């Protein structure tokens, strides 16, 4: 590619004429002397542009004057084109500050398809659960007194007598007729492998009974005489009770004393106490009604109460071990009528035992609010 550039410029007030060829510039000053200079930067620039962009054609304008043809090269345009070619951001139509974002354009408000699809499903499940709980709450309100079931050969009705134990098992303090109670029951049913209906029906109640019974004392043998201690008459509900009927297994009695001391220190129970923090002789709550029993004595009790059944007086009793205590919690001390048990389970002392007795190693016999067994945790 051949080109020629001719022109004139003023250098320090002198008019100089010069011409350029492919490799050099020649100019003539006013005195007629000629000088040869190196090629102009614009020439190199034009050659670089032509090399980088084969489709680029330099535009020149030939102009006639008295001596030469002038080729004019548009250098600014070439510089702009070079900037466009070397700027990756402009070449790709994306700002340098922009960075690809996995899953969508930066700043985009469009959520991934999977997330959009999951939301309605989650909302549907939550709506279904809420609806189930709303239906379960009134059902529980009815069953708490109307559910028919059998235990120990005796027909039972409702589960309201066991609400303190049920609440402890479910770890909830909400009313049994509330949706919150149904929700807690649903969680327990799932953990127990039952249908999570939120309804405390016969299947769920039987599962609860099995769990309570499974935590009771397993030992049945007699203790050796050395393991029995005779508690003072002041610890008993009936302080005229004979000495052989005031025997308690040694570790069980120590745990009982610790339990009583803790209960006495809880002012919310309002228990009468002595100066040393012991139960006052006049206080009835938490006094021992019965402890160790021989088989002969147990059989005597069964003869005296022929209608008690296996639920009330067992043939093989935990009292044989000396580790079962009947404690006074209100009402008639050991009466199994529903009306009496309903009174007992509402007392502050019984509800305190439900919450705290396990800390001292005592577990309940759910059917008798007064009966607690030391399992030596």
| In the chain, domain spans | 5-92, 120-214, 225-374
Instruction: Please tell me the predicted confidence (pLDDT) of residue 211.
Output: 97
In the predicted structure, residue 110 carries a pLDDT above the cut 50: no
Taking a C-beta distance cutoff of 8 angstroms, is the pair 328, 372 a contact? no
Polymer length in residues for the chain: 377
Look at the block and give the residue holding tokens 């139509």: 93
Smallest CA-to-CA distance from 184 within 136, 124, 146 is with 136
Q: What is the chain's mean pLDDT, rounded?
A: 77
pLDDT band of 19, cuts 50, 70, 90? very low
In the predicted structure, residue 103 carries a pLDDT above the cut 50: no
How far apart are alpha carbons 333 and 88 in whole angstroms? 92
pLDDT band of 278, cuts 50, 70, 90? confident
pLDDT band of 298, cuts 50, 70, 90? confident
User: SS3 of 249, please?
Assistant: strand
> Structure tokens of 22?
């492919």
Stronger pLDDT, 93 or 121, i.e. the higher one? 121
pLDDT band of 152, cuts 50, 70, 90? confident
In the predicted structure, residue 66 carries a pLDDT above the cut 80: no
pLDDT band of 41, cuts 50, 70, 90? very low
Taking a C-beta distance cutoff of 8 angstroms, is the pair 126, 306 a contact? no
In the predicted structure, residue 32 carries a pLDDT above the cut 60: no
Instruction: Please tell me the predicted confidence (pLDDT) of residue 373.
Output: 98
Instruction: Please tell me the predicted confidence (pLDDT) of residue 102.
Output: 45
In the predicted structure, residue 115 carries a pLDDT above the cut 80: no
How far apart are alpha carbons 59 and 12 in whole angstroms? 31
Tell me the mean pLDDT in the region 107-131.
Answer: 51
Instruction: Please tell me the predicted confidence (pLDDT) of residue 187.
Output: 97
Stronger pLDDT, 21 or 277, i.e. the higher one? 277
In the predicted structure, residue 271 carries a pLDDT above the cut 90: yes
pLDDT band of 229, cuts 50, 70, 90? very high
Instruction: Please tell me the predicted confidence (pLDDT) of residue 146.
Output: 97
Beta bridge partners of 148: 157
CATH code of domain 225-374: 3.30.1380.10
Stronger pLDDT, 33 or 367, i.e. the higher one? 367
In the predicted structure, residue 50 carries a pLDDT above the cut 70: no
């Amino acid at each position: 590619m051949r080109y020629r550039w001719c022109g004139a410029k003023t250098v320090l007030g002198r008019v100089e004429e010069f011409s350029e060829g492919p490799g050099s510039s020649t100019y003539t000053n006013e005195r007629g002397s000629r000088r040869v200079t190196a090629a102009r930067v614009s020439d190199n620039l034009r050659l670089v542009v032509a090399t980088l962009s084969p489709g680029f054609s330099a535009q020149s304008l030939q102009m006639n004057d008295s001596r030469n043809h002038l080729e004019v090269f548009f250098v600014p345009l070439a510089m702009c084109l070079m900037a466009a070619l070397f700027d990756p951001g402009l070449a790709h139509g994306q700002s340098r500050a922009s960075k690809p974002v996995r899953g969508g354009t930066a700043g985009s408000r469009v959520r991934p398809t999977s997330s959009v699809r999951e939301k309605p499903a989650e909302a549907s499940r939550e709506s279904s659960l809420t609806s189930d709980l709303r239906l379960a709450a009134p059902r529980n309100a009815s069953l708490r007194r109307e559910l028919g079931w059998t235990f120990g050969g005796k027909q039972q009705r409702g589960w309201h007598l066991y609400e303190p134990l049920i609440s402890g098992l479910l770890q909830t303090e909400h009313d049994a007729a509330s949706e919150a109670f149904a929700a807690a029951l649903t969680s327990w049913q799932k953990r127990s492998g039952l249908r999570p209906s939120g309804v405390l029906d016969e299947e769920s109640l039987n599962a609860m009974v099995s769990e309570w019974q499974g935590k009771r004392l397993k030992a049945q043998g007699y203790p050796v005489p050395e393991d029995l201690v005779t508690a003072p008459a002041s610890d008993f509900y009936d302080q005229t009770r004979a000495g052989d009927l005031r025997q308690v297994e040694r570790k069980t009695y120590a745990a009982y004393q610790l339990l009583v001391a803790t209960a006495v220190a809880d002012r919310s129970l309002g228990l009468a106490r002595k100066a040393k923090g012991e139960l006052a002789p006049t206080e009835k709550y938490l006094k021992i009604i019965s402890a160790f029993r021989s088989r002969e004595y147990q059989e005597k009790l069964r003869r005296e109460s022929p209608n008690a059944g296996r639920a009330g007086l067992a043939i093989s009793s935990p009292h044989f071990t000396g580790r079962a205590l009947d404690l006074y919690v209100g009402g008639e001390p050991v009466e199994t009528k529903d009306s009496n048990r309903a009174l007992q389970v509402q007392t502050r002392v019984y509800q305190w035992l439900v919450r705290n007795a396990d800390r001292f190693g005592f577990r309940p016999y759910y059917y008798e609010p007064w009966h607690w067994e030391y399992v030596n945790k």
